[in-house]
Structure 1
Amino acid sequence: MSENEKNLKAAVIALAGYRAGGALPALDEIETYWRGLVDANGIAPSRAELDPRAFSRSLSNCFIAESITPRHLRLRLTGQHLSDVMGMDMRGMPLSAIILPDSRPHLEQLISDALVGMTGPVRISLFAPPRFGQPALYGGMVLLPLRDEPGAPRRMLGAFATVGKPGRAPRRFRILGAAEVDRPTATPAGRPALKVIDGGLSARP
C-alpha cells in the first residue's frame, strides 16, 4: 500500500469515528451531546447551555474557541489531552498552533466557512508525521458551532483526540481531509452522512 493510500485510509477512519483505539469516540460523544441541544429549527446551542457534566467522560478532549478574525479561532478553554499532546497550556493560543504550516490555509478556510455559514459539525482528520522521538500519530477534531450571544465573539465547541502514543511534545498535524456533517433537523435521527469539503473524503452509513 502506497503512502498516499495509507493517508486516505487514515482519513476515512478518522472521519467515520475510529473506535478501536478508545480515543476518537470522544468526538462522537461530544457531537452527540451537541446534537441533543440543537432545537427543532436546527439552531445551535449557546455557550451558556453547555453542561460539562453531560460529557464528563470526554471532557479532557474538549475545548472552547472564539473567533479573533473571520479565519482564526483562539482557544479559551482546553482539555488536558490537548495540553499533553502539545506539551503546554494551550489557553489563549490560536487553534492553528496545532496544525503544520502547509495545512493552515485549509484550516483557515474551514473556519471561515463555518463562521460565515454557521454550518453543522465539521470533522477533520489529522496526521502528525513521524520524527525522532515522535511516532506517527493519527487524530481527529470536530468543530461544533455555538449560537451567537450579544456582545460576545462567535464561539465553537470543539474536541480533539488522537490514537496511539504522542511521543515527545509538541506534535503538530497535517490535515488529511475534512467533512461537514449534515446539520441536525427535526427528522428521525440516524447515522449522519458526511459531505466532502475541499478535497476531503466522505463516509456513508
Structure 2
Amino acid sequence: MSENDKSLRAAVIALAGYRAGGGLAALDEIEAYWRGLTEKNGIPPSRAELDPRGFSRALSNCFIAEAITPRHLRLRLTGQHLSDVMGMDMRGMPLSALILPDSRPHLEQVIAEGLANMAGPARISLFAPPRFGQPALYGGIVLLPLRDEAGAPRRTLGAFATVGKPGRAPRRFRILGAAETDRPVATTGRPALRVIEGGLSARA
C-alpha cells in the first residue's frame, strides 16, 4: 500500500470518527430541516419556503447555490464559515472553487446526478491535505435540492462544515467520497464513503 493510499484511508477513518462525535452536526441539522419540509409536502421545498429560524444554529454553515450548467453550481448566498475557511467572500463563485482540481470531476458528477434526478441529499466527504501553515482539515458538504417555479431542481440548499483549525486561507479540499443519504434523519449510523484515489474503499 502506497503512502498516498495510507493517508487517504487514515482520513476516511478520522472523518467517520468526527461524524460519530458530532463534529459535523451542522450538516445533520440542515438536512433534518430540509427533510421535514420534504416529508410534509411530498416534494423538495422551494427557496421561498425556507425559514432560517429552522436551522438557526447552523446558519453560518449554510449556502444557497444555483445551477449555471448541468454540472456546475454558483454560490448565491453563503454563511460566514465558508468565507472564513476560504479567506474571501464566496458569493458569485463556483462551488468547485473549494475543491482541488483532481477532485472536481467527481463533484461535477454529484451535481449532475442531483440536478437531473432531483435525488435525495448528497453527502460529500472532504480532506484538505496539510501544507505549511495549513494543518490537515476534515470536512463535509451536504447538497439538498430545491425546486423552482417550474418544479425543476435549479437551486440547491447546502451546508459546509469542517473539523479542526483551518490555518492559513484559502483551503481547498480533496473529495474522499460521496453518497446519497437515504437513511432516516434520526438514524445515527455512519454513511458509506468511497475513496476516489488509490482504489481503496471503506464503509464507515
- TM-score (norm: length of structure 2): 0.85
Q: Is the 8 A contact 1:133 1:167 kept in 2?
A: yes
Q: Supply the distance in 2 between the matched residues of 1:59 and 1:132 (Cα, whole angstroms).
A: 30
Q: Using a 3 Å threshold, how does the CA distance of structure 1 residues 194 and 23 change in structure 2: closer, same or farther?
A: closer
Verify the 8 A CA contact 1:42 1:183 in the aligned structure 2: no
Write the mapping of 1:1-205 to structure 2, written as runs, cut at 5 A: 4-11=5-12, 14=15, 18=19, 20=21, 23-39=23-39, 42-150=42-150, 154-182=154-182, 190-191=186-187, 194=191, 202-203=203-204
Residues of 1 paired with 2:84 and 2:135: CA distance? 15
- Assess, with a 3 A threshold, how the Cα gap between structure 1 residues 197 and 112 changes in structure 2: closer, same or farther: farther
The percentage of counterpart residues that share the same residue type is 72
Counterpart contact for 1:29–1:58, Cα < 8 Å: yes
Q: What amino acid is aligned across from residue 11 of structure 2 in structure 1? A: A
Q: Letter of the aligned partner of 1:141 in structure 2?
A: I
Comparing both structures, which one devotes a greater share of its residues to helix? Answer: 2
Aligned length: 198
Instruction: Quote the Cα distance in structure 1 between the aligned partners of 2:17 and 2:47.
Output: 26
1:102-152 deviations in Å (ceiling 9; x for gaps) = 000000011001100111000011011111111111111100111232499
Gaps of 5+ in 2: none
Check whether the contact 2:98–2:172 (CA below 8 A) recurs between aligned residues.
Answer: yes
Structure 1 alignment gaps of length 5 or more: none
Q: State the TM-score, normalized to the length of structure 1.
A: 0.85
User: How far apart are residue 7 of structure 1 and its match?
Assistant: 2.6
Q: How far apart are residue 182 of structure 1 and its match?
A: 1.2
Question: What's the secondary structure of 2:143's corresponding residue?
Answer: strand
**Secondary structure at 2:39's aligned position in 1?**
coil
Deviations 1:25-44 (A, max 9, x none): 10011111111101367411
